[in-house]
Structure 1
Amino acid sequence: MKRLSRLSVIALGALLSTAAVPALVVSGVATQAQAATLSGGFDVGPGGFQGNFNPLAATAGFTWLSVYYEPLITYDEKLQKVVGALASSYEVSSDQMTYTFKLTDAKWHDGKPFTAKDAKFTMGLAMDAKTGSVLAARLKGISSVETPDDRTVIIKLSAPSSSFPDTMTKVMMLPEHALSSIPADQLAKNTWWSTAPIGTGPFKFTKYVSDQYVELAANTDYRGGKPALERVINRYFANPAAAIAALRSGEIQFTYVDSNDVPTFKDNKDFQVIEGNSFVVNYLGFNHDSPLWKDARVRQAVMYAINRDAIIQSLYGGAAKPANCAYVAEQLIPPDIDSYAYDPEKAKKLLTDAGWDQINGGKPITLLTYYTTPLATNVLAAVQAMLAQVGINIVPRAVDAPTYNSIVLNATPDIAQFQLVYAGLQNGPDAGSINVGLNEKQIPPAGPNVARVRMPDLTKALDSALAEPDSTKRDAAYQDVCKVMNTNLPWATLWVANRYGIVSTKVKDFVWTPAPGGGPYQANPQKWSIAE
């Protein structure tokens, strides 16, 4: 990504003229919209990524994965409460350390019954890092999984965890009879995921054409009733512009879009705009293994150097809120935290006081990201220019999600691998979601604290909030987390943006929620239909 030759931080119009995005060419297989077939760009944007078949390893893409896999519990479509999915009901003990799930009567796509044995098997896979599970660190608090009968699963924790239900919404149930013969350390790369996967959902896998599309067919024996659609197809696109072109031409009926794409659809009667809170905080993550960021004054300077309000208004069209910690929800923000208002002169002084010239010497700093949309390109161009004005020379490097994950999760203290990331992490609907990115106990390979944050005060605050059993006291506990973040700056927090999807008005009873990671949530795909 090239640096801008100039930037007006007062009016970002100059930025937009110098950071023009080149025209994008539509590519990919043309899949004609057929009667009773819904095609979409379900893995376009932050909601997913291409080749995302294995729910154990998925950090996004649950909008699509949950069409054919299902968890025991999930969020409702408004992301306000956790409800049953493969569990018809569940109970939590008074000490919040025992969860009892009563299973519904369900079948796998091959006709075999789903039982408590499958649930216990799945939990074993999810708890084992050898399987490639991204949930292993979050599930370390489980002390036992018991199955007193085929319809009951009892999970006991070693300590209360307020975020446990949220984690369980992401544990998609897997068939013991199909996977038990595969060694744990060979499971992640096994071809089963992209050739013959089976779940319990309303649609079942039929075909994957490499790098082009995945096709699912109606599961006519689905417990929730025969789906209205015959097929659901997930199209892959080289870029978001290609997906938008396919939407306009009628090749697909749904796709994720950036906020700057929304105005062209808002007054078009052929499309419906779906808007919602992303529940994702975007941030610059300092690699704490790097000597560049050891001095808190340098981290403070980064915050003061970025005109977040200007970026939000000019690039996001106002569809974002500045974040001064991981949260923007009022009940989680303590009074009198630092707003880090734009002040480049203060940033320069902080850098001078910290001896930035001796720390860095003007060397370029790689900013790694998996955000590759035109909006992200312009945002990073703005951030790059603003930091350059105070003497911090960053060079953005955008890669696909698998490459990003490989770099940040496998990095050693050799800072050449990455020094700074532009990323997003779920900060809701459960406030404890950010724990995995900031708690010292989650540093890779134990978990996804990719910034290698080692701040005892922050870890203590997170642990206390997660262990707080009283919901009336939990907000105050997360205010403490916010306060520590705002003071110590493990990240340079930027904003929480809205997210958008566009769906053809021909599609009926369609549920898509701009959820972090794409969900999962109660979408009822069996009810989706499309008009002739």
Structure 2
Amino acid sequence: MKSFNRSIAILGAGKARAVALVLSTMIAVMSGTCAMAQGSGPEIRVALSAGLDVLDPTRSTNGADFVIYTQVYETLLDLDPKTGELVPKLATSFRLKSPTVWEFKLRRGVKFHDGTPFTSADVKYSIERVLDPATSSPHLAQLASVKEVRAINELTVEIETKTPDPLLPRRMQPVGGAGRVFIVPKMYFEAGTKQEVSDKPVGTGPYKLGEWRKGQSLTLLRNEDYWGKKPDGAKGTFTFITENATRVNALLSGEVDVIQRLPIPDVPRVEGSASAKIIASSAGVVHTLLLDSRKPPFDDLNTRKAFAHALNMNNVIGNLLGKYGRVLPVPLGPTVTQLDKSIAPYKYDRNLAKELLGNKAPLELSTYTSDGRYVADRDIYQAVNAQLSANGFKVKPQTLEWGRFVSLMQSRSAGPFYVVGWDFSEGDASKMNSFLKSSSAFSVTNDPAYDKLVDAAAAEMDEAKRTELWKTAQKLVHEKYYVAAVWQADAIYGFSKKMNFQGTVGEVLDLSKVTVAP
């Protein structure tokens, strides 16, 4: 370098400046190349609408948790958003060896974030952990068909079911929330406590945990040793802003790049912004207003009917969601294969509601409500509670932090009625089991007739017969008023104009699919 500087001095001032400029440019380019090689890249700042609870994919289906742990953990298969077909992920192929045995061939060369090789032992452990009653997994009900998991060799797994299960491979992809199997590292999870593996998740995914400051923020760092395509963002920083206006202001001021659940009244503000834009998907979550039929007062059919007919949901959803929402007849997404289109939503009939209640009115109900977890949830709760109060019920609502609310749901103590959303992006009716099958941690019913129908549907390999069984189950649920109201809201994100994202699959915010403009 000293001899190079001496050569510049000999050239004279003009030529020296030119050579110096070339040199400085080369050094800058080389420095940039080195920085990129060390994992540089843009930071993507995301504001979630609810806080985190448990970052253990075996023990949580909380939407905010799901956003984080799906960046860290992966599944055997993936779902093509355009075709709905299953495609390889941690498994390179799968096949039905016999009516009750599925075989999965695993990807070679994959490592967990701690450097441990991914093998069939991890798959076996991950599934058996869901099936272990001591885990209290919310995914258990949808894996109840599994009889045994066998690690044939390091890269081959067989899953044997008690009866034929045509949907087992659908449990091995990430879309749809409850019932998914994410692969966790056996050695790491066996060595740590439940709290330790939740606080410091280790997976095979494109991002790994940087820092979790509970109640404040969480940072993900790009996994530079990832087996697949590396994402644009080198870092993802997640903050938790439950208040709608504050979340929107953070986007418009440039504090964050992405916000979940853009409030509908704020859509015009974002559309008119020079720095932000809207990305929306009609395949948002299906909201269910569940009635706990196992306990008074909703163990009585007439009380459930009165509750449902006291609500004018077309009025509520039409006024509060407009073109971004729709009332549904049964708790299934519109794209579910087995949807019974002959069923209509419950009609508003205040006279019938009061007649059914009789001398019980006013019937007092204490309930918990969310605020900011779902699109317009506070406003919808207020409108629903006002209609109930005008039609024979006296409601005492109390806002509760979402993580605590989910814990109460899972322990079946969330109150006589509440709203919870479900992702039906996998396109199958079996998601109803998450909240209606007796064995599910989130169930609000104990109906042997429903259980018998869905068990038969789960074992039916003939798709036409399976569809008929599910249509019968839908009619039963509708006639027994286990779900008082159902609606779907579009998934609406606010995004910086510097970033792009295809919001095609429910409310899945996949950080690795966010691309950043040069």
Moved more, 151-160 or 492-501: 492-501
1:171 and 2:165 aligned: no
Q: CA 1:110 to 1:511, structure 2 compared with 1: closer, same or farther past 3 Å?
A: farther
In the TM superposition, what are the counterparts of 1:412-431 in structure 2 within 5 Å?
A: 418-428=415-425, 429-431=427-429
Aligned to 2:36: none
One of 476, 479, 491 as aligned partner of 1:484: 476
Give secondary structure in 2 for the equivalent of 1:291: coil
User: Would you say 1:441 and 2:439 are equivalent positions?
Assistant: yes
Cα gap change, 1:77 to 1:524, in 2 (>3 Å)? farther
Q: Deviations over 1:223-276 (max 9, x none)?
A: 114443321222222433332222112222111124513333235453342222
CA deviation after TM superposition for structure 1 residue 148, in Å: 1.4
C-alpha contact 1:281 1:493 (8 A) present in aligned 2:
no
Which secondary structure state, in structure 1, belongs to the residue aligned with residue 159 of structure 2?
Answer: strand
Query: Aligned partners of 1:79, 1:126: CA distance in 2, in Å?
Result: 29
Deviation at 1:320, TM superposition (A): 2.2
Q: Aligned partners of 1:311, 1:156: CA distance in 2, in Å?
A: 47
TM-score by length of 2: 0.82
Per the alignment, residue 365 of structure 1 pairs with 365
* 1:389 positional shift: 1.5
Indicate if the aligned counterparts of 2:363 and 2:392 stay in contact, CA closer than 8 A. Answer: no
> C-alpha separation between the residues in 1 aligned to 2:341 and 2:80?
31
More displaced stretch, 132-141 vs 121-130? 132-141
- Alpha-carbon deviation of 1:295? 2.9
The alignment status of 1:108 with 2:108, answered yes or no, reads no
How far is the alpha carbon of 1:435 from its aligned partner?
Answer: 1.0
The amino acid across from 1:325 in the alignment is V
Report the counterpart of residue 181 of structure 1 in structure 2: 191
Identity in percent: 25
- In structure 1, what is the Cα distance between the partners aligned to 2:227 and 2:340? 46
- For 1:137 and 1:118, how far apart are their aligned partners in 2? 21
Question: Out of 74, 77, 80, which is 1:73 matched to?
Answer: 77
Pairing partner for 1:270 from 275, 278, 289: 275
Whole-Å separation in 1 of the counterparts to 2:439 and 2:261: 35
Letter in 2 for 1:209: R
Partner of 1:351: 357
Cα distance between partner residues in 1 of 2:372 and 2:496: 25
Aligned mate of 2:228, from 216, 224, 228: 224
Deviation for aligned residue 1:277: 3.6
Q: Is 1:199 the counterpart of 2:203 in the alignment?
A: yes
SS of residue paired to 2:322: coil
1:372 offset after TM fit, Å? 3.9
Give the structure 1 partner of residue 454 of structure 2: 462
How far is 1:511 from its partner? 4.2
1:393 matched to 2:394: yes
Q: For residues 327-369 of structure 1, give each alpha carbon's deviation from its aligned partner in whole angstroms, at most 9, with x where no partner exists.
A: 35386454654542222122222222xx424xxxx35301223
CA distance in 1, matches of 2:53, 2:407: 15
Specify the code of the residue in structure 2 equivalent to 1:420.
Answer: F
Matches within 5 A, 1:173-322: 173-182=183-192, 187-188=193-194, 190-195=195-200, 197-258=201-262, 260=264, 261-268=266-273, 270-278=275-283, 280-322=285-327
Which of 96, 101, 121 is 1:98 aligned to?
Answer: 101
**Superposition deviation, residue 194 in structure 1:** 2.1
Q: Which runs of no fewer than 5 residues in structure 1 stay unpaired?
A: 1-33
Aligned counterparts of 1:484 and 1:337: Cα–Cα separation in 2:
11
Query: 1:156, CA displacement in angstroms?
Result: 0.9
What is the rounded CA distance, in whole Å, between the counterparts of 1:395 and 1:324 in structure 2?
A: 27
Distance 1:160 1:408 in 2: 31
Give, in whole Å, the separation in 2 of the partners of 1:178 and 1:336: 50
- Once residues 129 and 477 of structure 1 are traced to their aligned partners in structure 2, the CA distance between those partners, rounded to angstroms, is 28
What is residue 6 of structure 2 aligned with on the other side? none
The 2-side partners of 1:227 and 1:411 are apart by 39
Greater RCO (Cα-Cα under 8 Å, separation 6 or more)? 1
CA contact (8 A) 1:73 1:85 kept: yes
Change (3 A) 1:511 1:175: farther
Question: Counterpart of 1:395 in structure 2: which amino acid?
Answer: K
Q: What is aligned with 1:380?
A: 381
User: Between Structure 1 and Structure 2, whose CA radius of gyration is higher?
Assistant: 2
Conserved? CA contact 1:384–1:394, under 8 Å? yes
Q: Is 1:307–1:342's contact at 8 Å kept on the other side of the alignment? A: yes
Contact kept? 2:284, 2:491, Cα under 8 Å = no
Q: Displacement, 1:132?
A: 4.2
Aligned to 2:346: 340
Aligned residues: 466
Q: Tell me, what secondary structure is at the counterpart of 2:113?
A: coil
Task: Check conservation: 2:205, 2:223, Cα contact below 8 A.
Answer: yes
Deviates more, 1:463-472 or 1:331-340: 331-340
Name the CA shift for 1:89/1:63 in 2 (closer, same or farther; >3 Å): farther
Contact 1:259–1:316, Cα closer than 8 Å, also in 2? no
Q: Structure 2 vs 1, CA of residues 370 and 162 (structure 1 numbering), >3 Å: closer, same or farther?
A: farther
1:531 corresponds to 2:517: yes
Q: Secondary structure at the match of 1:160?
A: coil
Deviation of 1:83 (Å): 2.2
TM-score normalised according to structure 1 size: 0.80
Structure 1 position 484, deviation (Å): 0.9
In the alignment, the residues of structure 2 paired with residue 318 and residue 227 of structure 1 have an alpha-carbon distance, to the nearest angstrom, of 33
Residue 180 of structure 1 aligns to a residue whose secondary structure is: helix
CA distance in 1, matches of 2:342, 2:119: 52
- 1:79, 1:242 → 2: CA distance? 37
Aligned-partner SS, 2:260: strand
What is the CA deviation profile of residues 425-464 of structure 1, one whole-angstrom value per residue up to 9, with x for unaligned ones? Answer: 344522111112112233xxxx321x2x122332232223
Deviation at 1:87, TM superposition (A): 0.9
Aligned-partner Cα distance in 1 for 2:493–2:366: 31
* Amino acid corresponding to residue 178 of structure 1 in structure 2: Y
The equivalent position to 2:506 in structure 1, one of 495, 510, 515, is 515
Q: Does 1:409 align with 2:399?
A: no
Distance 1:380 1:264 in 2: 24
- Provide Cα deviations, 1:121-161, integer angstroms capped at 9, x if missing partner: 22222222323432233323211111111111111111123
Selected match of 1:57 from 51, 56, 59: 59
